[in-house]
Chain A
Amino acid sequence: MPITIEMPKLSDTMTEGTLVKWIKKIGDTVAVGDILAEVETDKATMEMEAFDEGVLSEIYVKDGEKVQIGQKLAILLGKGEKPGAVTPSQAAPAPELATPVAKQPAKDGAPGAAETRAAKDQTATPPSIEPHAGDRVKASPLAKKLAADSGVDLGRVQGSGPGGRIVRADVEAAAQAAQVTQKIPVSRPPAPKPQPVAATLEDKRIPLTGMRKTIASRLLESKTTIPHFYLQSEIDAEPLAKLRKEINAAAEAAGIGKITVNDFILKATAVAASRVPLANAAFEGESIIQYGNVQLACAVAVEEGLVTPVIRAAQKKSLSQISGEIKDLAARARSKKLKPEEYQGGTITVSNLGGYGVEQFFAIINPPQAVIVSVGAIVQKPVVNEAGQIVPGQRFIVGVSCDHRVVDGAVGAQFLGELKKLLESPALMLI
C-alpha cells in the first residue's frame, strides 16, 4: 500500500527541518535503509532513511524548503501499485494533529499518555497504511558492525544463519562481490591520460554541508557578538611528562589504556573549572548562568569539520575515566556515530592543536559557553632554571579565550592560574 513519508523529528528541540537535498528522485526504487534525503535540523544535517521499500512516486517538497515536523514529504508506492490510493486530503490532516497530540503525554501522566498515543497512531498513520511485516533486517551484531565498516547495505544481503539471520560470512561475501563489481568500470578505460595542467588551476565550488553551515553560523555569531579577550601562559611540561611516563608504565603492566597529554589537559580543565566556577558559565541576556557541573566539551576534527563531544560532569571523573570516555567519543565522532545528546550541552571547551605542531593559538568561543582553552604543542626550548642557568626544557602554551560579559580579566587569570598550577603539579589532579 502507498506509504506517506513525513518530516521526522530528529532532535529534541526540532520543530521544523530543511529538506536540504533529495537523494532519491521520482521513479527511483527504494530499499529499506536507503537514504532518501538530507535533512537539516537546528543541530545538524542528518540523512533520512527509508523504513519501507517501494518506488518514490511523488515528492511534495523542493530542495532547500523548510518543513514542519509531520508534514508530508513524499509518497512511496509498493510493487505494481498505482498512485492515487492516498490522496492529499487523506494524508494532509495527519501531521497537524500529530504534532500537538504528541506533546501531551508529558503533561498528562500515564493514562492520558496511553490515550493520546493511541490517538496519534490513528491519526499519524492513516488506516489504509499497514506496517510491512518483516521489515526488520535480522543480522548478528558482528554482521552489523562489519556492514557499517564496509558500507554493505544489509537490506540487500541474504542471511544464511538460523532463521535467515545475516552473519559475518554473508556480509563478507557481499562486500567482496561489491568490490568486484566496482572494479569493472575502473579497469575498463586504458591508461589514463595525464590531465592538462590548467585543469588543476580551475576554481572548485564546494557546496556547504550541514555541519559546515552550522560551524559557519555559530562561529560568526560567536566572533561578532561575544567580546573575546585572550590570556596565555607557558607551562612547564616536564612534571607532566614524568608523571605520564610513570602512569603509563603501570598502565601497560596492568593492561589498561595509556593516558595522553590531552587527557591530563581535559582533567586539569575540569578541575580548574570547578575551582573557578565563574569560568564555567554562560551569558543569558538578563542573567549569567553558572553551571553546577562541568560539561567538558573537547574539539575533535572530523572529515567534514569538527564536533565537540561532551564529557558529562567531568569534575567528578577520574583521569582514567576521562581518558576512556574521550577515546570512545572521539572514535565515534570520526565514524559519525555520535548521538546529538553526546555533543550538546557543553559548558566549557578544550581545543588542542598540539598534535599538529601548532605552538600557540586562540580558539573562538563555542557559544553559549564563556571560556575555551587552546592548547599548543610541547616543544623543547631553552629555559632558565631556578639557579639562573639556561638549560633545555619542555614547554607548551595554553591560551584561554573568555567572554568578557561573563568572565573578567582577573577571573580569567585565576582560571588560567589554576590550570597552570594543576598542569605543573599534575599529581594534584589525582587526589
Chain B
Amino acid sequence: MPLLTYREALRAALSEEIERDENVVILGEEVAQYNGAYKVTEGLWKRFGDKRLIDTPISEAGFLGMGIGAAMLGLRPVMELMFWSFAYVAFDQIINNAGCVRYMSGGLLNVPIVIRGPANGGTNVGATHSHMPENLLANTPGLKVVTPATAYDAKGLMKTAIRDNDPVMVLENTLLYGEKWEVPEQEYLIPLGVADVKRPGADITIVAHGRAVITCLKAAELLEAEHEIYAEVIDLRSIRPLDEETILDSVRKTHRALVVEENKPFCGIASQIAATIQEKAFDELDAPVGRLSSIDAPAIYSPALEKKQLPDPQRVLTKVLQIC
C-alpha cells in the first residue's frame, strides 16, 4: 500500500471529489494560485481551474457566509481556513446560519458545506493561532465535527464530509500534515460517528481524538514494554456524531478509562466522554475515569513551556499508572 502524507491524503480526497461531483468547489485564502497556505490544495488550481478553486479575501465572516449561502443553493463548498483560530470572527455564520438553518427552515434548507483547516497548538504560533474549537463546535446541535488523526482517516473522513448533506467541520493538524501512513489506492469512505480501535488492549481504555491519538499509541507502547499494561486506544475520529458504543464496549472489557485530548480541560471533549462513561457504564468501572488535557492556559508562547502544555506520551503513561 502506498505511503501518503496526511496532506497528500487530504488533497487526494479533494481532487477525487472535485472530479466526481461538479458541485464541489474549494474556497479560501490562497487556496488557488498560491497552492494553499499549508499546501493542502497544491496543484489543484492548475488542474481544475478558476471555477473549482477560488481565492478569497482575508475576510472569514464574508467568505464563509458566501459558502454557506452557496451550499443552501446546492453547491458543495469546501472552505479552507488558514487556521481554525480565524473562524472565530465567522462564528455567526458557522453557528447561527450553517448550524441552525436546517432546523429553523423546518428541513427545507440543507447546508452541505465542509469547513476545514488546521486546529492545533505546539507550533509556536501564539495563543490566537493555536485554538482547538472542536468542543465549541460540537456543542452546537446541527454541526458535525471530525478530527482525523492519520492520513487514512483524513482521506476517508474528508470524502464522507463532502458528501454529507449537513455542515461538517474538519479539524486538521499542521504537525500531522507531513506524517506518512498507508493509504489504499482504491476508493474508500469512512462513515461519520464510527470510532476506530487503533490498538486493542485489555487493561485500560484510552480514548483520544486528533493528534492525541498518536501520543496515546506511543504511550501504549511504553506501557506494554515497561509495565506490562495493555492499553486499548480508541480514536474517536468523529466528535459529533459520537460513537458511544465503541467506547462503552471497550470500558466493559477493560473496566478502566482515560480520556486524552489536546483540547483544554474545562468543558472539553474529555469531560463529555467521562460523563458518558460514568452515566452509562458506572457499574463496569474499577477506577474513576481519568482525563488528560492541555494545561489550562492560553497556548503558551515560550517554546520550552509550550512543549509541556500538550499531553505527551510520558504524561499519558503517568496518568495511566495512577488509574491502573
Contacts and interface: CB of A to CB of B under 8 A. Distances in A.
A161 B323 CA distance: 9
A140 B284 CA distance: 9
B286 interface: yes
Contact of A142 (B245, B286, B322): B286
B19 interface: no
A167 B286 contact: yes
Contact of B287 (A140, A144, A145, A255): A140
A190 interface: no
B322 A168 contact: no
Interface string B244-285: 010000000001000000000000000000000000001111
In order of increasing CB-CB distance, the 3 nearest A-B pairs are: A142-B286, A145-B283, A140-B286
Interface string B298-324: 000000000000000000000000100
Contacts of B282: 141
A165 B322 CA distance: 13
A255 B322 CA distance: 35
9 contacts: A140-B287, A141-B282, A141-B283, A141-B284, A141-B286, A142-B286, A144-B283, A161-B286, A255-B245
Nearest to A170: B286
A143 B322 contact: no
B319 to A, nearest CB: 12
Contacts of B286: 140-143, 161, 167-168
Contacts of A161: 286-287
Contacts, number: 26
A162 interface: yes
Nearest to B281: A141
Max chain B Cβ within 10 angstroms of own Cβ: one of A142, A162, A167, A168: A142
A168 B255 contact: yes
Contacts of A140: 285-287
Interface residues on A, range: 10 to 19
Contacts of A142: 255, 283-286
Nearest to A140: B286
A163 to B, nearest CB: 11
A142 B285 CA distance: 5
Given A141-B286, A142-B283, A162-B287, 8 more contacts: A141-B284, A141-B285, A142-B255, A142-B286, A143-B286, A145-B283, A161-B286, A161-B287
Interface of A: 140-145, 161-162, 165, 167-168, 255
Nearest to A168: B286
Contacts of A144: 283
Contacts of A255: 245
Contacts of B322: 162
A144 B283 CA distance: 8
Contacts of B285: 140-142
B115 to A, nearest CB: 31
Max chain A Cβ within 10 angstroms of own Cβ: one of B282, B283, B284: B283
A168 B322 CA distance: 16
Nearest to A165: B287
A143 B255 CA distance: 10
Nearest to A145: B283
Contacts of A162: 287, 322
A18 B282 CA distance: 36
Contact of A167 (B283, B284, B287): B287
A158 to B, nearest CB: 16
A64 to B, nearest CB: 38
A417 to B, nearest CB: 40
A142 B252 CA distance: 10
A168 B111 CA distance: 49
A255 B286 CA distance: 26
Contacts of B284: 141-142
B243 to A, nearest CB: 12
Contacts of B287: 140, 161-162, 165, 167
Contacts of B255: 142, 168
A140 B323 CA distance: 12
Contacts of A167: 286-287
A361 B299 CA distance: 73
Contacts of A168: 255, 286
Interface in B188-234: none
Max chain A Cβ within 10 angstroms of own Cβ: one of B245, B284, B286: B286
A144 B245 CA distance: 23
A412 to B, nearest CB: 43
Contacts of B245: 255
B269 to A, nearest CB: 23
B291 to A, nearest CB: 16
A161 B324 CA distance: 8
A143 B288 CA distance: 12
Nearest to B255: A142
A272 B257 CA distance: 47
A255 B246 CA distance: 13
A255 B244 CA distance: 13
A144 B282 CA distance: 11
A144 B285 CA distance: 10
A335 to B, nearest CB: 12
Nearest to A142: B286
A188 to B, nearest CB: 36
Nearest to B287: A140
Nearest to A139: B286
B278 to A, nearest CB: 9
Nearest to B283: A145
A162 B286 CA distance: 11
